[in-house]
Chains A and B, each alone.
Chain A
């Protein structure tokens, strides 16, 4: 055993405890320290994974998809390593292995499930060879950091093409993702959602892919789910939505989540998850197909998925004196539009809280708020009693709502996050929906947890009010 690896592991663990004792989450410092001492830390530890390394990337849904895979694999009795949310660059990935490793330099792991930031894929796959790579979708996200979407997709394609034995799990409905089968030449399996009653003939929302990635001709669509996701074909070269191996049919929003039937292996089974929103259904499909590919039984997997609890900020459900409150992370137009779609599906009145920060990790440019379809809220204003805008750029959010046609009397600007949340939860409406950008999410989450009780998915466990 390499002495330097042992020293690196030890130093990483010490860094973790020091960072923790100072109130930080300690998700990237240990990896950073270990890599400084022994640059081969990740390479050595990752090579000890007994079965497979699974990488999950894409713009939206990385964390939820990884957590769903983790839930299904650990329910199946495997030892797993998962990186913590947000720690999805190379130092964060290294941290997850360091924290799992013993002082003897060994890890005990069947599967490593790694959520990897799009721009970090080249660095991570240079040290870690994934057996499976799942891609969720590509939307514009934090453009001031990553520039244009085309560039990111090119970077990911180039770093995957050199892998020879990796299987790709791809979203059939997103042409930007589906193109990876052809551009990388790797074995690929697809998941998708079939046409359903709310599928639109046109997509008014900002679409990223108007042209065929192969020949540049315009893409023609049969229907859209959201953004550029739908049933497309190229009028020039014939590139089209691939046939999915698993396809969700007739998805429906229920009080507790989402239900649909699932077409798999020429038969239909039912799929239910405890999370609302079509995007969460996509996450479940990606996670399911990853695990099916690993050879697990579909019945057991569906059972595990149903027990999955959304993590912080993914339509996480709370209970405020009997009133349901939901918390969602928003970081780009596609995600926020999906959140708004969920609002329209709610029966009864709603108070809404939105926290917008513009720190580095949120993306300093918040102009994307003007690409979100807040105009659709205008059709239903009687249901939306108040909009409380908070965070470093709460004023811009309020302005956006004003120009979307929301009556200004219903828009409140409160910089202080705590009093803004209190006002929202104490509102007159039947439910509360809270939206927050990345750096405001943890403070918001902490405050909501203090004020309201977290609801767990298990029906037997009746939530109490703390």
Chain B
């Protein structure tokens, strides 16, 4: 049984991010992999070690502050699980929460969980629009499409980006980097939602979650015709012809 934990679905639910949990669960079910989803909200107890995949989305400022306080109380257990290889997908606000801090426009510093070495600053203009990035998935260069909508600008310290921006802004609109990747933690600004129309990434998350459980095996291929067509609808508009292939990823910081 693969156990999925959706953190704060009632609070962090802007921009259809629950689609990521739907995609993860369905792709397990279609392959006959038993999967359960648990929703965790403020004050609920949770042992991160019991879970295989944790998803955390983005929310409005007010809700995000409530969550930061709640998550801070769970910090130690969360950090430990991450070091032990827990598979996590964090989007937008959920992504920002995992860094060192968020610097607001008024100069106030809101501390993050400090799990990874990056910081976020409130920007002057909101970065909004379709995005295509290129990332490495199991040694293969894959293009991933989504929609960004954030005013926070994230700058990476000593950590790896999730991918390289081919079209759009990504982390900050300046350094062509998008997201963060650390152990089995994947962070991104891409809504859309991210997983449904990027099935290679979803399957990668499922694979590493299974592997960690000692259930590792090659996943049964699925018919991804609809998935690829939905992804191509964005890609073609931004001038890309193929989802896989292209330049091999550089060992960029």
CB-contact partner of B227 in A147, A150, A370, A399, under 8 A:
A399
**A148 to B223, alpha carbons, bound, how many Å?**
37
Cβ–Cβ contact B230 & A395, under 8 A: yes
Cβ–Cβ contact B13 & A206, under 8 A: yes
Q: What B residues does A371 contact at CB under 8 A?
A: 13, 16, 18
A396-407 near B? 1/0 per residue, CB < 8 Å: 101110111100
Q: What B residues does A400 contact at CB under 8 A?
A: 19, 196
A365 at the interface (CB under 8 A from B): yes
A326 at the interface (CB under 8 A from B): no
Nearest-CB residue, chain B, relative to A392: B233
**A369 to B62, alpha carbons, bound, how many Å?**
24
Q: What A residues does B129 contact at CB under 8 A?
A: 364
B128 at the interface (CB under 8 A from A): yes
Cβ–Cβ contact A395 & B233, under 8 A: yes
Cβ–Cβ contact B16 & A149, under 8 A: no
B10 at the interface (CB under 8 A from A): yes
Cβ–Cβ contact A398 & B18, under 8 A: no
Contact A367:B193 (CB < 8 A) given known A143-B149, A144-B128: yes
Q: What B residues does A144 contact at CB under 8 A?
A: 128, 147, 149
Q: What B residues does A211 contact at CB under 8 A?
A: 62
Q: What A residues does B10 contact at CB under 8 A?
A: 207, 210
Cβ–Cβ contact B232 & A395, under 8 A: yes
A368 at the interface (CB under 8 A from B): yes
Cβ–Cβ contact A395 & B229, under 8 A: yes
8 Å CB interface, B1-35 against A: 10-11, 13-19, 22-23, 26
Q: What A residues does B193 contact at CB under 8 A?
A: 367, 370
8 Å CB interface, A116-169 against B: 140, 143-144, 147-150
Cβ–Cβ contact A369 & B226, under 8 A: no
Nearest-CB residue, chain A, relative to B41: A210
Size category of the A interface is 20 to 34
**A395 to B237, alpha carbons, bound, how many Å?**
13
Contact A143:B15 (CB < 8 A) given known A364-B147, A365-B147, A396-B197: yes
B191 at the interface (CB under 8 A from A): yes
Question: Closest CB of chain A to B225's CB: distance in Å?
Answer: 8
Cβ–Cβ contact A398 & B149, under 8 A: no
Cβ–Cβ contact B230 & A370, under 8 A: no
**A11 to B222, alpha carbons, bound, how many Å?**
62
CB-contact partner of A367 in B60, B62, B147, B232, under 8 A:
B147
Contact A143:B230 (CB < 8 A) given known A367-B19, A370-B196, A403-B196: no
8 Å CB interface, A365-393 against B: 365-371, 392-393
Question: Closest CB of chain A to B67's CB: distance in Å?
Answer: 12
Nearest-CB residue, chain A, relative to B194: A367
CB-contact partner of A399 in B14, B17, B61, B196, under 8 A:
B196
Size category of the B interface is 20 to 34
**A143 to B223, alpha carbons, bound, how many Å?**
33
A101 at the interface (CB under 8 A from B): no
Cβ–Cβ contact B196 & A149, under 8 A: no
A413 at the interface (CB under 8 A from B): yes
A408 at the interface (CB under 8 A from B): yes
Contact A367:B16 (CB < 8 A) given known A147-B126, A399-B230: yes
Cβ–Cβ contact B26 & A365, under 8 A: no
Q: What B residues does A206 contact at CB under 8 A?
A: 13
Cβ–Cβ contact B149 & A365, under 8 A: yes
Q: What B residues does A369 contact at CB under 8 A?
A: 16
Cβ–Cβ contact B16 & A370, under 8 A: yes
Nearest-CB residue, chain A, relative to B223: A408
Q: What B residues does A393 contact at CB under 8 A?
A: 230, 233
**A371 to B191, alpha carbons, bound, how many Å?**
12
Most buried by A among B10, B230, B232: B230
Cβ–Cβ contact A403 & B26, under 8 A: yes
**A371 to B19, alpha carbons, bound, how many Å?**
8
Question: Closest CB of chain A to B163's CB: distance in Å?
Answer: 19
Contact A403:B128 (CB < 8 A) given known A144-B149, A210-B11, A393-B233: no
B192 at the interface (CB under 8 A from A): yes
Cβ–Cβ contact A150 & B197, under 8 A: no
Contact A396:B233 (CB < 8 A) given known A150-B60, A368-B16, A371-B13: yes
Cβ–Cβ contact A365 & B232, under 8 A: no
Question: Closest CB of chain A to B203's CB: distance in Å?
Answer: 14
Question: Closest CB of chain A to B226's CB: distance in Å?
Answer: 5
Question: Closest CB of chain A to B253's CB: distance in Å?
Answer: 30
Q: What A residues does B126 contact at CB under 8 A?
A: 147
Question: Closest CB of chain B to A106's CB: distance in Å?
Answer: 45
B172 at the interface (CB under 8 A from A): no
Q: What B residues does A402 contact at CB under 8 A?
A: 226
Q: What A residues does B120 contact at CB under 8 A?
A: none
8 Å CB interface, B108-160 against A: 126, 128-130, 147, 149
Q: What A residues does B16 contact at CB under 8 A?
A: 367-371
**A369 to B191, alpha carbons, bound, how many Å?**
12
A170-185 near B? 1/0 per residue, CB < 8 Å: 0000000000000000
Q: What B residues does A210 contact at CB under 8 A?
A: 10-11
Cβ–Cβ contact A367 & B15, under 8 A: yes
Q: List 26 A-B contacts (CB under 8 A).
A: A143-B14, A147-B126, A207-B10, A364-B128, A364-B129, A364-B130, A365-B15, A366-B147, A367-B17, A367-B147, A367-B191, A367-B192, A369-B16, A370-B19, A371-B16, A392-B233, A393-B230, A395-B226, A395-B230, A395-B233, A396-B233, A399-B229, A400-B19, A403-B196, A405-B26, A408-B226
Interface of B toward A, CB cutoff 8 Å = 10-11, 13-19, 22-23, 26, 60-62, 126, 128-130, 147, 149, 191-193, 196-197, 223, 226-227, 229-230, 232-233
Interface of A toward B, CB cutoff 8 Å = 140, 143-144, 147-150, 206-207, 210-211, 364-371, 392-393, 395-396, 398-400, 402-405, 408, 411, 413
Task: Using A206-B13, A364-B128, A367-B15 as known contacts, list a sample of 4 further A-B pairs with CB atoms less than 8 Å apart, ordered by residue number in A.
Answer: A150-B60, A367-B192, A395-B226, A400-B196
Of all A-B residue pairs in the complex, the 5 with the closest CB atoms, nearest first, are A370-B16, A370-B19, A367-B16, A395-B230, A399-B230
